[in-house]
Amino acid sequence: MRYLCFVLGATAFLVSFAWADPVELILTEKRADPKFGLNRPMMARSVDGTLMVAKRNSGEVVGRDEAMLRDQNGVLASQLMVALGMPCLPSREARWQTEDGWIRGTCSPWMEGALTLLEFPASRISNPDEAVALLIWREFLGDGDINGTNLLVQVETGRLYAIDLDKAFQGVFRVKSSGFRDVMERYASPKNVEPVLEEIRSMDSAQISALLDRVGPEALDGWSDEKKDEVLTCLLRNREELLRGNPYAHYYGRRSLPWFVPEEIRVVEGDARVRD
């Protein structure tokens, strides 16, 4: 199976990037980009000088425990995506020092020459089949917040990447954001959807459990049997949902609206107001 090959092939990459200990960062500047809302990323460097993007989920907004859960879910989901062979900027748990002491959050490597899908026409994505697979696998991981600000395109290559997966393992939302819909309405077909669904459907609990055993301890400092059971339950539930039918068939043969999103929609893209 393809995903098993990628799990084995990606092991060296994960080992080099995904040690469970938090990365220590030095903040360089804040990135005041309103598209990112309350959790605006900040530019930082690791101790070896690597340019990173740091992010802290706001405990003041969602509560401290929920913020820490989102950080952990984002790290684990991003590294599962890499292990499954999907283009994704993997995140790690991180910490950095401020005037108020040490702050915990997450970080991802900086990608030069990239734009969010909100800023990049979906018609210029270079590998539509891979883009469709990326969205399906991301939904399988229970991420219902797939929108134009957490999909990144490397402009020179036109390749789509997943970023910011901190709402993974929370179930699949029925209402899709404009970023998700534009890719699926433009490119989804039986040829590129059905093989991905069959691959997910064919994964039994032992295979999913083995995947979590391989990735989880390297991804999270606080990996535990309880966390594994929680994630495994979510993934098995989502697989059962796909066994009951194809939720993407209604995209076949459709074409998205012209690439124009009114300013008032851009501001709340991915927000609960959009999903509701």
- pLDDT tens-digit profile of 184-200? 999 999 999 999 999 99
Read off the tokens for 42. 């900040």
Q: Which residues pair with 119 in a beta bridge?
A: none
Residue 218 lies in a domain: yes
pLDDT of 211 reads 97
Band (pLDDT 50/70/90 cuts) for residue 34 is: very low
The structural domain count of the chain equals 1
Interatomic CA distance for residues 167 and 69, integer angstroms: 9
Band (pLDDT 50/70/90 cuts) for residue 39 is: low
Range(s) of the domain holding residue 68? 2-256
Residue 177 lies in a domain: yes
Residue 270 lies in a domain: no
Residue 261 lies in a domain: no
Read off the tokens for 222. 């606080």
Phi, psi of 48 (to 5 degrees): -90, 5
Residue 80 lies in a domain: yes
Residue 29 lies in a domain: yes
Quick one: average pLDDT of 35-45? Answer: 66
Residue 264 lies in a domain: no
Q: Provide the strand spans (E) within the chain.
A: 23-30, 42-46, 51-55, 92-98, 101-109, 114-116, 151-154, 159-162
169: left (phi over 0), alpha (psi -120 to 50) or beta: left
71 or 233: whose pLDDT is higher? 233
Residue 11 lies in a domain: yes
Determine contact, residues 68/104, Cβ cutoff 8 Å: yes
145 pLDDT higher than 90: no
Residues above pLDDT 70, as percent of the chain: 75
Phi, psi of 109 (to 5 degrees): -65, 145
